[in-house]
Structure 1
Amino acid sequence: MKFGFVKSVLATAIISASASLWAGTTVQPVQTTSSAQQAQKKSGIETQYFDSSVSEKDDFYDHVNGLWLKNTVIPADKSRWGTFDILHEDSVNQLHDIVDELSKQQLAEGSAEQKVATLYANFMDEKSIEALGIKPIQAEINNVDSIKNKQQLAQLAAHFSRIGVSSPFDVDIWQDMKDATQMRAVLAQSGLGLPDRDYYLKDDAKFKKIRSQYLTYIEKTLAMAGDKQAAQHAKDILKLETQIAKAQWSNVQNRDVQKLYNIYKVEDLAQLSPQVDWQAYLKGQGLADKIQTIQVVQPSYFKDLSPIVENNRLETWKAYYKFHLVSDFSPLLSKAFVDNSFNFYSDQLREIKQQKPRWKRGVQLVEGTLGESLGQIYVKKHFSAEKKQRMEQLVQNLMKAYQQSIDGLDWMSPATKVEAQKKLASFAVKIGYPNKWRDYSALEIKNNDLVGNVIRSREFEHQYALNKLGKPVDRDEWGMTPQTINAYYNASLNEIVFPAAILQPPFFDMDADDATNYGAIGAIIGHEISHGFDDQGSEFDELGNMKNWWTDEDRKKFKEKTEVLVKQYAAYEPVKGYHVDGELTLGENIADNSGLAIAYKAYQLSLNGQPAPILDGFTGEQRFYLGWAQAWRSKITDAQQIVYLKSDSHSPDKVRGNATLLNQTPFYDAFKIKQGDKMYLPSNKRVTIW
């Protein structure tokens, strides 16, 4: 249960602890901040980064961020650097302080704090790791070598799934898409070593070069594991993965939630893909006695997988699994393995030139393993009650603005508006941190056993997911830790979640006036709310069930608007020869445009009819849009941008910063944008949805 495929489809992030602030309630009256109070606050606009040589009427994003873009160098250990990354770096430093402090204390054996300190110390013990070389995974290599026939591959795939090693398919446990009160096992495609199927199938020069480098990486990885036929096996593996890529659904196809819900009886899997021993696989996953049916996300993939299994030699499959085993665990092994992995996946694939310091990698390992244990300490140190209260006020205003916006839509019928309001009133909002924290007591962390600890942690997560079957859905659970710089909407729970760590400047500044905060965190709040009504979220009702609550005519009008948005964004070419995929990014683009529009209305409501103060020479309306543009400030390598263009549902940051503004009529008024300006889009071509 490594990949969380359905979660990635239904839980949509901004990039990606009141648990039920809005659940089952009606929208509350708007709370406001007086102009006199706001005048005491700073503008929150970082004018030192403005580039006066670029007109705000021609390129708003570069005007607001130009000097930062010109003078900032992406750190050598990064492929991108911007507002989210800077806050992430701050979060890592804060977590390091926590871990370092714990490491100096006498901690109770078996406590979560002791497990944090031990896991970190194990990772930092380079001398012991270096002496072990490949030994920590030698037993797993022997396990692959012991396979005698293809029937045993299913059991191996199940075992590798439990310990986090890539396989052509994987199982997750998620809410039933048509009954959000129940948990269901879900089977989906997986198993590629490159970021997306296009890396195998497209013949442009960049992808050809990556494939050549990947082939070299496979061969070296196998050779380091003792494979005497590494060169031939590498060619066989690349050929095999190319066949898998051809069979897989594209990211755009995977956005059609209606086509993802395919329920099969367990015994019928043998007809779908007869070359896989499904009984052995499900038994190995711990599911054999727990389920009678399973959701198959991409049925045609599993139909095509059967001949792929049949037509490739057992030797090739064993080499495939051995390669992914060593590759996936390389960051935890000796320096030769770490460097080999970094050279391909970071340097060649993403243009990252320097490995992160070991302590950062150690902190990130602990965060990914015992994240909520760190989160409890993090929120005590870095998240105040005042932030939570002000965020609740912002959310109230956004919800009120959405309520009014739905009532005022000229393209939606009264019948559909009733259902939309019902869904809006049922939103759950989670701010800062969970009401209850994860219990890690069943996870065993041993001293001087780094790889063993990681394997046990992955098996622990696997069992944690399995334990959800047959039990009520836990609506208090969080999908991110409080120290995560992100936010998300979850369609199955109809909830929006804002971790503590994102509630910092430039997204949320307690000392700044409302305009900038509404343009930044307000638009992010609006973004997440609107995911409940985007092309995917609108397929789910207020309870989180996939159900059509639209009239046919309303759905038709909605699709007409979104088709225009697809074309708008597809025109952008962030890297020469590589355009934004308007269909892949549609949901996020709807959310950006709708979230910013609703945030503007909420800001106007917050003024309560009073004029906004002029700060740093800017009106409130101008600061609102300046706050939006500076929130997306970032730089990125071309290689990483291509990875995102092929695999990420979000548009590039500069596109988000500029393209969204073209559809906002108040933006034109705020900055006097007129025909002939490059930021101008005729009113009849602007898209307004919510």
Structure 2
Amino acid sequence: MHANSSLLRRRLLALALAAAAVGSAYAASPTVVAKPDVVAGNIDTSINPGDDFFEFANGAWLKAHPIPAEESQWGIAQVVQDELYAKLRKISEDAAAQKQAAAGSDEQKIGDFWTTAMDQPLADRLGAAPLKDELARIDAVHDVNSALDAAFALQPLGVDAFFDFGVSQDEKQSDAMAVHLAQGGLGLPERDYYFNSEQGVAKARTAYIAHLGRMFRLLGADETDARQSATQVMAFETALAKVSRPLADLRDPEKNYNKMAPSELTTKHTPAIAWDTRLAAWKLSAPTVIVGQPEFFDGLQSLLAKTPAPVLRDYLRVHLADEYASYLSQAFDDEHFDFYGRTLSGQAQQKPRWKRALRAENGALGMILGRIYVKDYFSEASKQRYNTMVEAVRTAYGERIDKLDWMSPATKAKAHEKLAAVTRKVGYPDKWKDYSKLIIGHDSYAQNMMRAQRWAFDDMLSKYGKPVDRSEWEMTPQTYNAYYNPSNNEIVLPAAQFMIPGFADSEIDDAVVYGYVAASTIGHEITHGFDDEGRQYDAKGNLLDWWTRQDAERFNQRAQVMVKQFNAFEPLPGLHINGQASLGENIADFGGIMIGLDAFKKTAQYQKGEKVAGYTPLQRFFLGYALGWLSQQREARLRNSLLADVHAPAKYRVNGPLSNVPDFYEAFGVKPGQPMWRPENQRVKIW
């Protein structure tokens, strides 16, 4: 939940939604069906809130709802997504039932995509045939230049071969679109997977080599050749990982901003790649490009020069196959799942095909589905409630800035300017995306996905040289998530983000909603504009230093307290949370709580002070915040997140920030000696 927009953004297809069946949220008797309280029903009263607030607030629900076999994690996000899937399935099946839908209409595209995606026998008959043209191009690779021909042909299909590419806003000129180039090309989730010595990570590396071998077998190689190809591709990727920046270092926007002419990138870093010519083939006449990690391209050049053509060929072949395996025959699908689902995430079994088809459809046709979804399922009253809440949080943030004792008047003035300029987007776009050029057919599931990827790539390229469209959304309305975009200085809050399973919006009291939405979502996203990374952007979304040197130093000193706190958490033996990599999210969690709490204290419910289900308004606020992180995950998924995710695991997103909040201590009587207690001089004090 809550995705902070990365500084290098490929155009986002709609985020995938997952789902699975859950137990009823209702407690039944022979004559009465009573709905439990939205937060009190989740509480494990055997836990002292001062010992482990996450387990206190959520423990009863987590014990009653073990992770289903088809899931790698289970909690409120997955239950919400289950509800969303039911709605999206109805939309899809209704469209598929319209046999006379006009060619090119939304109904035709949704219906044909759904029907083809659900046709397992068709996918099995075709095998790898949908990839034959791309595989033939790769088979023709005989030197570095032909390998680059193939790699550049794969980029529009969403295969980040060798490097990552995108067109997005220029960080230092937010009203202009720029070409971005960055490190990429790895098959494991993050560079540290190639080097970390922890036992589970080492097993994942071994399993990855075995997976590559089996993929080569499916592509036609014999056992000996497949084993050799797998070993050589792993060696190539390991060398690529070695020249890649670590996760924490990727959060420095200044270091990620290296603007140069394409010819300079060629001359100084990658003589093998004539960037002017390559970009021109995509109809990009770019006088400059922004290179995220120049040293990575130095390393890539060296690797390309010394790697034999057969190894480059195998690398490209297996990356293409893995990207599309889920849309090919059962054998490819099962092999891809066995490694990426079972080994890396801990899923015991695949989700049913209809859920996987919806996930793909959401990626390919997200805003078409979204337009129908909000018409049927998101009320104007809900949109108004959360628009109003955004302004309440903004006001509270402004008041908190005024009270800061460590920030100078000059920086406060700039902070107010930026806060006032934050754009809010709530529910759904005012202008819907035009999908008229996207063709969806009956020929194969994989080819429909390839068409969708090419369409998205062409749509991204078309933005270059045009005014920035600040009305565009990077998430669909049916996404249980939210984000802050520093280049637009905007918070984007999709309709689905406000859902609490089993409850209508009108049934939830302000205390819970202010914890669940104002703190963990609205306040969190606004605070991203003032975290260690977002604070470096000004009110117009430009990467520009607007802080006095002394204020920046004071901010960084305070932020380091949070880095130290999170570095100390060890969710798995030998694997700690990366406090520096997760700093932006941790600051946003803490800031969101403080600002959401300030806004909540102005509500009638807080001021009346009446208990609901035995808990005071202040207690319900914190319980509402914890509800947003109601989640548990398998060990493999936890390991993956510790190495590759800038978000801390759910438990620590509750206990970590709350251990710094004085009102939390007061609400639950937290005392010295309890695990949640921190001495006053060891607490984070930023916002």
Same fold (TM over 0.5): yes
Q: 5+ unaligned residues in a row in structure 2: which ranges?
A: 18-34
Deviations 1:67-87 (A, max 9, x none): 222222111111001111211
Summarize the Cα distance change of 1:580–1:8 in structure 2 as closer, same or farther, 3 Å threshold.
farther
CA drift at 1:48: 2.5
Kindly provide the amino acid, as one letter, of the partner of residue 198 in structure 2. Answer: D
2:364 alignment partner in structure 1: 369
1:441 alignment partner in structure 2: 436
1:387 alignment partner in structure 2: 382
1:315 alignment partner in structure 2: 310
2:169 alignment partner in structure 1: 175
Summarize the Cα distance change of 1:342–1:43 in structure 2 as closer, same or farther, 3 Å threshold.
closer
Among 37, 60, 83, the residue aligned to 2:76:
83
Does residue 463 (structure 1) correspond to residue 458 (structure 2)? The answer is: yes
Does residue 537 (structure 1) correspond to residue 534 (structure 2)? The answer is: yes
Among 138, 141, 158, the residue aligned to 2:135:
141
1:517 alignment partner in structure 2: 513
**SS in structure 1 opposite 2:159?**
coil
2:105 alignment partner in structure 1: 111
Alignment of 1:157-306 (within 5 A): 157-228=151-222, 229-271=225-267, 272-287=269-284, 290-306=285-301
Kindly provide the amino acid, as one letter, of the partner of residue 161 in structure 1. Answer: Q
**SS in structure 1 opposite 2:289?**
strand
CA drift at 1:521: 0.4
Aligned 8 A contact 2:486 2:541 in 1: yes
CA drift at 1:609: 8.4
Among 95, 100, 112, the residue aligned to 2:93:
100
Aligned 8 A contact 2:642 2:648 in 1: yes
Sequence identity, in percent?
A: 39
Which 10-residue stretch deviates more, 100-109 or 239-248? 100-109
CA drift at 1:439: 0.8
Aligned 8 A contact 1:158 1:284 in 2: no
CA drift at 1:608: 9.2
Does residue 72 (structure 1) correspond to residue 76 (structure 2)? The answer is: no
**SS in structure 1 opposite 2:608?**
coil
Kindly provide the amino acid, as one letter, of the partner of residue 327 in structure 1. Answer: D
CA drift at 1:279: 4.2
Aligned 8 A contact 2:9 2:166 in 1: no
Which 10-residue stretch deviates more, 146-155 or 341-350? 146-155
Query: How many Å separate the matches in 2 of 1:115 and 1:573?
Result: 47
Query: How many Å separate the matches in 2 of 1:642 and 1:588?
Result: 18
**SS in structure 2 opposite 1:260?**
coil
User: What is the TM-score of this pair, normalised by structure 1?
Assistant: 0.93
Kindly provide the amino acid, as one letter, of the partner of residue 515 in structure 2. Answer: G
CA drift at 1:204: 2.7
Kindly provide the amino acid, as one letter, of the partner of residue 183 in structure 1. Answer: M
Deviations 1:387-412 (A, max 9, x none): 01111221121111001000110000
Q: 5+ unaligned residues in a row in structure 1: which ranges?
A: 17-41
Kindly provide the amino acid, as one letter, of the partner of residue 520 in structure 1. Answer: Y
Query: How many Å separate the matches in 1 of 2:189 and 2:319?
Result: 14
Query: How many Å separate the matches in 1 of 2:282 and 2:249?
Result: 27
2:149 alignment partner in structure 1: 155
Kindly provide the amino acid, as one letter, of the partner of residue 319 in structure 2. Answer: H
Does residue 499 (structure 1) correspond to residue 494 (structure 2)? The answer is: yes
1:61 alignment partner in structure 2: 54
**SS in structure 1 opposite 2:7?**
helix
Aligned 8 A contact 1:133 1:333 in 2: yes
2:559 alignment partner in structure 1: 562
CA drift at 1:239: 0.4
Root mean square deviation of aligned Cα: 2.0
Query: How many Å separate the matches in 2 of 1:525 and 1:7?
Result: 23
2:571 alignment partner in structure 1: 574
Which 10-residue stretch deviates more, 177-186 or 455-464? 455-464
Deviations 1:30-57 (A, max 9, x none): xxxxxxxxxxxx9954322222221112
CA drift at 1:127: 1.5
Aligned 8 A contact 2:16 2:363 in 1: no
CA drift at 1:537: 0.6
1:650 alignment partner in structure 2: 647
Query: How many Å separate the matches in 2 of 1:487 and 1:15?
Result: 13
Query: How many Å separate the matches in 2 of 1:321 and 1:429?
Result: 41
Aligned 8 A contact 1:15 1:486 in 2: no
Aligned 8 A contact 1:162 1:458 in 2: yes
Query: How many Å separate the matches in 1 of 2:159 and 2:655?
Result: 40
Among 408, 411, 414, the residue aligned to 1:419:
414
CA drift at 1:612: 2.8
Deviations 1:243-273 (A, max 9, x none): 0000001111110001011011111122211
Does residue 346 (structure 1) correspond to residue 341 (structure 2)? The answer is: yes
Deviations 1:204-261 (A, max 9, x none): 3222211111111111111111124211111110000000000001111110001011
RCO comparison, higher one (Cα < 8 Å, 6+): 1
2:350 alignment partner in structure 1: 355
Query: How many Å separate the matches in 1 of 2:279 and 2:510?
Result: 53
Among 597, 602, 627, the residue aligned to 2:599:
602
Summarize the Cα distance change of 1:15–1:437 in structure 2 as closer, same or farther, 3 Å threshold.
closer
Q: What is the total number of aligned residue pairs between the two structures?
A: 659
CA drift at 1:135: 1.3
Query: How many Å separate the matches in 2 of 1:10 and 1:645?
Result: 25
Does residue 618 (structure 1) correspond to residue 620 (structure 2)? The answer is: no
Deviations 1:432-464 (A, max 9, x none): 000011111111112223222221211111110
2:28 alignment partner in structure 1: none
Which 10-residue stretch deviates more, 175-184 or 324-333? 324-333
2:21 alignment partner in structure 1: none
Query: How many Å separate the matches in 1 of 2:607 and 2:632?
Result: 38
Query: How many Å separate the matches in 1 of 2:505 and 2:76?
Result: 13
Query: How many Å separate the matches in 2 of 1:249 and 1:217?
Result: 25
Aligned 8 A contact 2:39 2:623 in 1: no
Which 10-residue stretch deviates more, 212-221 or 198-207? 198-207
Aligned 8 A contact 1:113 1:373 in 2: no
Kindly provide the amino acid, as one letter, of the partner of residue 49 in structure 1. Answer: N
Deviations 1:4-52 (A, max 9, x none): 96345999x9999xxxxxxxxxxxxxxxxxxxxxxxxx99543222222
2:665 alignment partner in structure 1: 668
Aligned 8 A contact 1:44 1:512 in 2: no
Summarize the Cα distance change of 1:194–1:367 in structure 2 as closer, same or farther, 3 Å threshold.
same
User: What is the TM-score of this pair, normalised by structure 2?
Assistant: 0.93
Kindly provide the amino acid, as one letter, of the partner of residue 512 in structure 1. Answer: I
Kindly provide the amino acid, as one letter, of the partner of residue 387 in structure 2. Answer: E
1:450 alignment partner in structure 2: 445
Summarize the Cα distance change of 1:609–1:171 in structure 2 as closer, same or farther, 3 Å threshold.
closer
Summarize the Cα distance change of 1:673–1:153 in structure 2 as closer, same or farther, 3 Å threshold.
same
Following TM superposition, the consecutive aligned residue runs of length 4 or more in structure 1 with deviations greater than 6 angstroms are 13-16
Deviations 1:165-206 (A, max 9, x none): 231112100101111110000011111111111111122322
CA drift at 1:143: 1.0
CA drift at 1:304: 1.4
Kindly provide the amino acid, as one letter, of the partner of residue 424 in structure 1. Answer: L
Query: How many Å separate the matches in 2 of 1:609 and 1:638?
Result: 39
Deviations 1:361-416 (A, max 9, x none): 11111110010000011001110011011112211211110010001100000000
Query: How many Å separate the matches in 2 of 1:323 and 1:511?
Result: 51
2:23 alignment partner in structure 1: none
